[in-house]
Structure 1
């Protein structure tokens, strides 16, 4: 499955994040439910992740945990 790259600003710095479209769907829905920008949600995830974890992995795990919490 190809990755889809988005550019965003985290804490005033431009970066890009590549995820599968399905993960972007979950992230977009999470941000909409919380009435916040996707970049703000990604910044929260970035702030909470362990320094040795990649941002893309942290976002995927966050998206998965959100789905699991809503289906159990």
Structure 2
């Protein structure tokens, strides 16, 4: 199921949509990195290509994180 989420990035609210599996993995990554979820989302936002939307950038970040860890995607 895809859900809309909101976050405050650099003082402004933004929203993005993610499948539940990506949302759960994103939260796990933030916990593994011992950082606030909002900070991780801001980091992803800051590093994304201007032509890539935030939802896609988050999915790609999660994909690369899982791939580097050698874990199969469910």
What TM-score do you get using the length of structure 2 for normalisation?
Answer: 0.89
Residue aligned with 1:50, SS: coil
| 1:59 counterpart residue number | 58
- The Cα shift of 1:24 comes to 0.5
Residues in 2 aligned to 1:18 and 1:62: alpha-carbon distance in whole angstroms? 14
Aligned to 1:69: 68
TM-score between the two structures when normalised by the length of structure 1: 0.92
Q: Secondary structure at the match of 2:50?
A: coil
Unmatched 5+ stretches in structure 2: none
CA RMSD of aligned residues (A): 1.1
Give, in whole Å, the separation in 1 of the partners of 2:6 and 2:51.
22
Cα deviation for residue 39 of structure 1 reads 1.0
Unmatched 5+ residue regions in structure 1?
A: none
**Partners of 1:58 and 1:6 in 2: how far apart?**
14
Task: Give the paired residue count.
Answer: 71
Runs of 4+ deviating beyond 3 Å: none
